[in-house]
Amino acid sequence: MDDLREKYLSLIAGAGDEAALEDLRVQAVGKKGEVSLKMRELGKMTPEERQVAGPKLNALKDEINSALAAKKAALADAALDERLRTEWLDVTLPTRARRHGTIHPISQVTEEVTAIFAEMGFSVAEGPRIDTDWYNFDALNIPGHHPARAEMDTFYMHRAEGDNRPPHVLRTHTSPVQIRSMEAQGAPLRVICPGGVYRADYDQTHTPMFHQVEGLAVDKDISMANLKWVLEEFVKAFFEVDGGVELRFRASHFPFTEPSAEVDIRCSWEGGTLKVGEGDDWLEILGSGMVHPKVLQAGGIDPNEWQGFAFGMGIDRIAMLKYGIPDLRAFFDSDLRWLRHYGFSALDVPTLHGGLSR
């Protein structure tokens, strides 16, 4: 046994790697190793011989296993020391670039619009997206037989049997916020009402949900001339036009304004790029008009003393025009690659004069 002890302790001490160490473990204490075979011979010995040989063999096996474990730990430490000696890390190097989140074009354009109108004295008003049909239709002078009130155009909320509350709809425009603002603040008043709206429509230029911003100004001496100036200033700032902008007001009809007008801007299309303020083409961008007396009355304002103008435009639409987004549906069903292309850095802050600052 002394020979076995000296043999394997010497071999273990000289092992150069873990593979050689494993071979020695199998040779010494594996199932067919020399020490294991010696232990099997205990059964052939007399009881007196087993009492002497058994403890010695167990002690030898434990010593070899301890030597194997110690050598394995020493080899691991040596390998780690070698890695630390040959490998190094420059902690002064910059980290790998990480993608930053981007702001959705709808959010960005909403901020731009808000900043521009804020300079002209308009505050932001908000209201519920689910509203009664009185706020969404009746208060806006939209008669009961109007096509917009049909279920094929408007999303009506389900009503349980016995529910006596007035019908509720997903608002089809942000005009109900104008009524609520007049009720809450009275006159004079100057607000814009941005937010999501819903209509039963879906194609390249229409989606069931989209975003509008509507404006309302009420005062004693207010006219279409004031409306024209506000819209001209907005278009120049939003589309970042240095010179003048020519607007064309076309007579139209909206139940909530009288007179009513569709508004076009002079523009050109060169290489598929929109240029505002030049060219021979016209592009419709919004609807507008003087607030109908019945709408003022619905908001609790005396139309014999006050008058006002209102306008409304699609945030999605003007975002498409300004930033070259071809399909309205892309705002809602595109992936992160689209957002990385059309999104805005969080450091791009809208200024009160249009454009972005960093």
Binding residues: 258
How far is residue 255's CA from residue 271's CA, in Å, rounded to a whole number? 39
Beta strand 123-124 with 356-357 is: unpaired
Scan for tokens 């010497």, then name that residue. Answer: 10
Cβ–Cβ contacts within 10 Å for residue 139, how many? 24
The alpha carbon of 136 is separated from its chain's Cα centroid by a whole number of angstroms, namely 29
Helix (H, G, I), strand (E, B) or coil at 85: helix
State phi, psi for 87 to the nearest 5 degrees: -105, 145
Beta strand 209-219 with 189-198 is: antiparallel
Binding residues for Mg(2+): 258
Helix (H, G, I), strand (E, B) or coil at 339: helix
Amino acid at 226: N
Range 185-190, long-range pairs (CB < 8 A, 24+ positions): 186/300, 186/301, 187/218, 187/219, 187/301, 187/305, 187/306, 187/308, 188/218, 188/219, 188/220, 188/306, 189/216, 189/217, 189/218, 189/219, 189/308, 190/120, 190/121, 190/122, 190/123, 190/216, 190/217, 190/218
Contact 267, 277 (CB under 8 A): yes
State phi, psi for 17 to the nearest 5 degrees: -155, 175
Beta strand 123-124 with 189-198 is: parallel
Cβ–Cβ contacts within 10 Å for residue 133, how many? 19
Contact 57, 35 (CB under 8 A): yes
- Characterize 211-229 residue by residue with b for buried, 16 or more Cβ atoms within 10 angstroms of its Cβ, and e for exposed: bbbbbbbbeeebeeeebbe
How far is residue 236's CA from residue 213's CA, in Å, rounded to a whole number? 17
